[in-house]
Structure 1
Amino acid sequence: MPDWFTDAFRTEYERQLELLGRFNLALFGKTGVGKSTLVNAVFGAPVAATGIGEPVTRDSHLYLDDRGQLGLLDTRGLEIGRDDRQLLKELESYVRRMRREPVEAQIHVVWYCVRGMDRRFEPFEAEFVRRLDALDLPVIMVLTQVPRDAAGRLHPDAVALAQHITDLGLPIVDGHPYLTYALEDPFSGQSSYGLTALLEATFRGAPAAVHAALTAAQQIDHRRKAAQARRFIAGTAAGAAATGATPIPFSDATVLVPLQLAMMARISQLYQVPVDRAALMAVASTTVATQAGRASVTGLLKLIPGAGSVAGGAIGAAVASSFTYAMGEAWLAVVERAAAGALRRLDGVLDPDQVRSVFLTELRRRVPGLREP
């Protein structure tokens, strides 16, 4: 694969990052309730390391940490219950200012965290939640570090606290708290739970415009990633059909190159595969796809009734669409394995031969008549 491909892939990778946008999560709660542990569990460590981020304005106690598709708004040096007035003043000023910005600059969801075994929820905390709602911020109430026994029964004190908060009728997403235990503890035998339910609530609270960014940022629901990837693959295949161009990837079909690059880069972004690794995988995959496509283009025509015939280097829309769709599914299989750490490494670098093998195997599953390159 020529050098231009790697450069073009990197450019498209950055463009897809911009197109996905950013999901911004604000975190509130008393010190020590486990906010960082919770965020790390859902979005992948170590996104919530101590001391990260930049103040949103000069002398502000609100800090925004921008990490690709995830933005975290947290506080430093102010305590809920002690500095509520100052904190709310800064937050209200920030919200007013950001309302004039694009959607990716907004605060999309608030997680208000309470340690489940503290057994109390203060009146000032309830008032703080109401003030957040008055700023049109969707608030999800999270009880953290709630233990459960071997039978799956939640600690009764935390259940009672959750019921008490529910009875207050606070303006929170779904009307009740979400009970969680973020980090598995082998010593005590406590397993992690509640994160998927919390993530689902976060999707319900967030505007649809940032669901793609949230899907990419979260690291616990790969079914959502795959579903969004397949929607993009289907859209790319439809675009390929509209061009009616040669389906062989990255050959002389210049009209298809941007479509196929965008498809591969977007899927890489959804699974947060680093650009260097994604580019290496893309080179290995598309090399074998190009070779196989050139070897099998006549056979491809026979597989799809009504596809037409080769004429002037162009092939019917059905073949272009089908090959692009198969290529997208094969690329998705490679990326899923990479994200799961299931691809072999040689001296710390992914083995390109294995990448090519996985890609070709998946491609041939979807194009049964494909000849070996």
Structure 2
Amino acid sequence: MKFTDNKYNMIQEILEKTEAEIEKMKPVNILIAGKTGVGKSTLINNVFREKLADTGIGKPVTTHLRQISKEGIPIVLYDTRGLELDPSVQKKVKDEIFDLVKQNKNTKEALHAVYYCIQANSSRIEETEIDLIKKISSVLPVILVLTQSIGKSAEDFNRYLDNLNLPVAAVQNIMAEPYEITDDYVIPPFGLKELIDKTLQLIPKEAHDAFMNAQHADIERKAKAARRWASRYVATTFGVGFAPIPFSDASVLIPMQVTLLAHITAIFGISMDKATIVSLLAAVGGTGSATMIGKTLVANAFKFIPGAGTIIGGIISGTTASIVTSALGLSYIEVLSIIATKEKEGESIDLGLIERLVRNQFKKNITLNRKELKSKDLEFGSDEALKDAYNTYESMEEESHSVSVPKKIKRALSKFAENHKPFNKK
């Protein structure tokens, strides 16, 4: 940690620890195969964050393979370029894939899985393509991804492929983006969450954290993973044997809470900046010295814990510290879920509303008043907690948008006049 005049910047600490957590992740490596025009880029941009196909660096590694990666995202994709039905081309692609698998085996660049993309509407698969899929499947687990899966023909094609008994791990229909039928009827995206689930079943467990960070198709799964980790961390850190601490020394909680928030941020893998984290922390504690944050956070928490007011100025028990820290973690996860969703949809967030939401969720989570913290108490039995956070934020947005421009102008003029009274003529 960096200290300056007995203080340290909690915000910078969270950012640095988040970066360190991501660097520790074992990267996940996936091959994206399929003919030109089947929607590979669309799939990549909708499964992985920051529109990786468009913004990532594409580096040629062979004649027909290019590597797509981006700093800060622990995933490397290998895209087959120009894969057509010409047998000679397919042989070259197959040879390059096999060479890549052999070359990277037992290294951190080792390939973990393959998405072989076929356009569902084509309702056909050539013998040369079947042969290529079989050969790739002999060295890597393959998921057949049926892109643009609209209507009954896509379902029929899925069944047809199943009946071929190809040596693949799964066949998954997807619609990566909304499909507009008419102005009034749009088919929403589907199949991406199932693709995430099937991928996690195939890749090594040590690569799960990296894949979770990189994907943004299933925000709820990120939240569940974060809560599972937070529950174990809080229960372990503030166990039964945790020594009680004086309220005046509440700042000792901060290093533990920094670690908690940094790990959660790493799981979500969203573009957090200092301004956003300042707003999140200001809602429940503050952003000054560690001592001030610790005292303020605990003091705010005591307002909501029944019977805890008598502890102020006295001793903070391990259980009370657990409640405060778990409430902070849960609130942080719920709000990051909304930020991640907005980022995925290309929408900006209102930091003022986010700050209000953190305060709202923190107050709600602190009143759970768990007498004994257990891991299972913090895990999602359903997505109700997230839905509640989403609904609360949407209500805040609607309330904010309901204020008409004339009213805003009127308020601004009134405030200006109030601030400049000494200059008014008598």
1:249 shift after superposition: 12
Aligned in 2, Cα 1:247/1:169: closer, same or farther, shift over 3 Å? farther
Q: Deviations over 1:29-72 (max 9, x none)?
A: 1111111112222224622229942234xx55322222303321
Write the distance in 2 (CA, Å) between the matches of 1:134 and 1:186.
39
> Which amino acid is 2:128 matched to?
F
**Match for residue 318 of structure 2?**
317
Q: 2:263 aligns with which of 261, 266, 271?
A: 266
- Aligned twin of 1:128: 132
Please name the residue that 1:151 is paired with: none
Q: Please state whether the residue corresponding to 2:121 is helix, strand or coil.
A: helix
User: Structure 1 residues 185, 303: CA separation in 2 closer, same or farther (over 3 Å shift)?
Assistant: same
Map of 1:87 onto structure 2: 93
Aligned equivalent of 2:150: 147
Larger radius of gyration, structure 1 or 2?
A: 2
Partner in structure 1 of residue 404 of structure 2: none
- Give 2:198's aligned residue: 201
The reply on whether 1:172 has 2:168 as its aligned counterpart is: yes
Q: Which residue is 2:412 aligned to?
A: none
Is the contact made by 2:56 and 2:68 (CA closer than 8 Å) also made in structure 1?
no
Question: Structure 1 residue aligned with 2:105, among 99, 103, 113?
Answer: 99
Q: Closer, same or farther in 2 for the Cα pair 1:368/1:331, shift >3 Å?
A: same
Deviation at 1:142, TM superposition (A): 1.5
Letter in 2 for 1:184: P
AA aligned to 1:186 is: E
Determine if contact 1:34/1:144 at 8 Å carries over to the other structure.
yes
Q: Retained in 2: the 8 A contact 1:244–1:320?
A: no
State the Cα distance separating 1:140 from its structure 2 match.
0.5
- Any idea what the Cα deviations from partners look like across 1:96-132, whole Å, max 9, x if unmatched? 2222213xx3222211111122232111111111111
Matched to 2:64, the amino acid is H
Once residues 251 and 317 of structure 2 are traced to their aligned partners in structure 1, the CA distance between those partners, rounded to angstroms, is 16
- The SS at the match of 2:238 is helix
**Structure 1 position 279 matched with structure 2 position 282:** no
Q: What is the correspondence of 1:1-373 to structure 2 with a 5 Å cutoff?
A: 4-44=9-49, 46-49=51-54, 52-56=57-61, 59-67=62-70, 68-79=73-84, 81-82=86-87, 83-102=89-108, 105-135=109-139, 137-148=140-151, 154-155=152-153, 158-174=154-170, 177-188=171-182, 189=185, 191=187, 192-242=189-239, 243-244=242-243, 246=245, 252-253=251-252, 256-276=253-273, 277-285=275-283, 287-288=285-286, 290=294, 291-294=296-299, 302-303=307-308, 315-341=316-342, 350-351=351-352, 354-368=353-367
Q: Distance in 1 between matches of 2:246 and 2:42?
A: 47
Aligned Cα root-mean-square deviation (Å): 3.5
Q: Is the alpha carbon distance of 1:199 and 1:273 closer, same or farther for their aligned partners in structure 2, counting shifts above 3 Å?
A: closer
Q: Distance in 2 between matches of 1:138 and 1:247?
A: 55
Aligned residue in 1 for 2:386: none
Secondary structure, in 3 states, of the residue corresponding to 2:69? strand
**So what's the TM-score if we normalise by structure 1?**
0.79
Render the CA deviation track for 1:218-274: whole Å, top value 9, x for unaligned: 223222111111112112212331453649899531xx4343112212222333331
Q: CA deviation at 1:172?
A: 0.9
Q: Secondary structure at the match of 2:258?
A: helix
Q: Is the 8 A contact 1:236 1:260 kept in 2?
A: no
Deviations 1:137-158 (A, max 9, x none): 110011212222xxxxx22xx3
Aligned residue pairs: how many? Answer: 343
Does structure 2 conserve the Cα–Cα contact (< 8 Å) formed by 1:248 and 1:323?
no
**Deviations, residues 68-88 of structure 1 (Å, cap 9, x unaligned):** 033211123554544122222
Deviation per residue, 1:180-223 (Å, 9 max, x gap) = 22222325555133222222222222222222222232223222
**2:142, 2:169 within 8 Å by CA — same for their partners in 1?**
yes
Structure 2 distance, partners of 1:77, 1:257, is 53
CA contact (8 A) 1:16 1:262 kept: no
Which stretch shifts more, 225-234 or 158-167? 158-167
CA displacement 1:132-179 (0-9 Å, x = unmatched): 1221x110011212222xxxxx22xx34433332222111114xx222
Shift in CA distance, 213/247, structure 1 to aligned 2, threshold 3 Å: farther
Whether the 8 Å CA contact 1:22–1:210 is kept in 2: the answer is yes
In the alignment, the residues of structure 1 paired with residue 224 and residue 111 of structure 2 have an alpha-carbon distance, to the nearest angstrom, of 25
Structure 2 vs 1, CA of residues 133 and 6 (structure 1 numbering), >3 Å: closer, same or farther? same
Contact 2:247 2:312 in 1 (8 A): no
Is the CA contact (8 Å cut-off) linking 2:19 and 2:266 kept in structure 1? no
- Provide the identity percentage: 26
Gaps of 5+ in 1: 149-153
